[in-house]
Amino acid sequence: MGLFDTVIGKFFCPFCGAKVDDFQTKDLDPFLDVYTLLRPVESGMPSIEMYTKCDKCKSWVSLNVAQQQLKLKKRPKISAKKMLGHFSRLKKLAEKSAKNRSMKK
């Protein structure tokens, strides 16, 4: 749960070969940014992990790419008030979860 970034490009599921259009990652600053992959994955570069679920075979697919291979395509405009509201709701959910766990003991 939480914020993540999206990476779009031409990917294929390693399990069934179906086309996969986008991946998610939390390894960057997760602000709902959208990135495009500039070039194929190269080995030996520091990488970030991306993941998605294949629509065809329902397998979880993970891929590592170098951050230098990504180009920022779109950054959504989110007001500070909206962001604070989001984090406030997350905090309330965490507090409720902690309270439920302590009541079960």
Predicted TM-score (pTM) above 0.85:
no
Give me the half-sphere count of Cα atoms (radius 13 Å) on the Cβ side of residue 51.
8
Residue among 76, 71, 73 nearest 31 (CA): 76
Q: What is the residue extent of each domain of the chain?
A: 5-74, 78-105
pLDDT (tens place) for every residue of the chain, 105 residues total: 578 888 888 888 989 999 988 888 888 877 788 888 776 555 666 778 889 999 999 999 988 887 777 888 877 666 566 666 666 777 777 787 787 777 766
- Is 50:62 a contact under the CB 8 Å cutoff? yes
Q: Which two tokens stand for residue 101?
A: 């766990």
Q: Which secondary-structure segment (H or E) carries 104?
A: helix 80-104
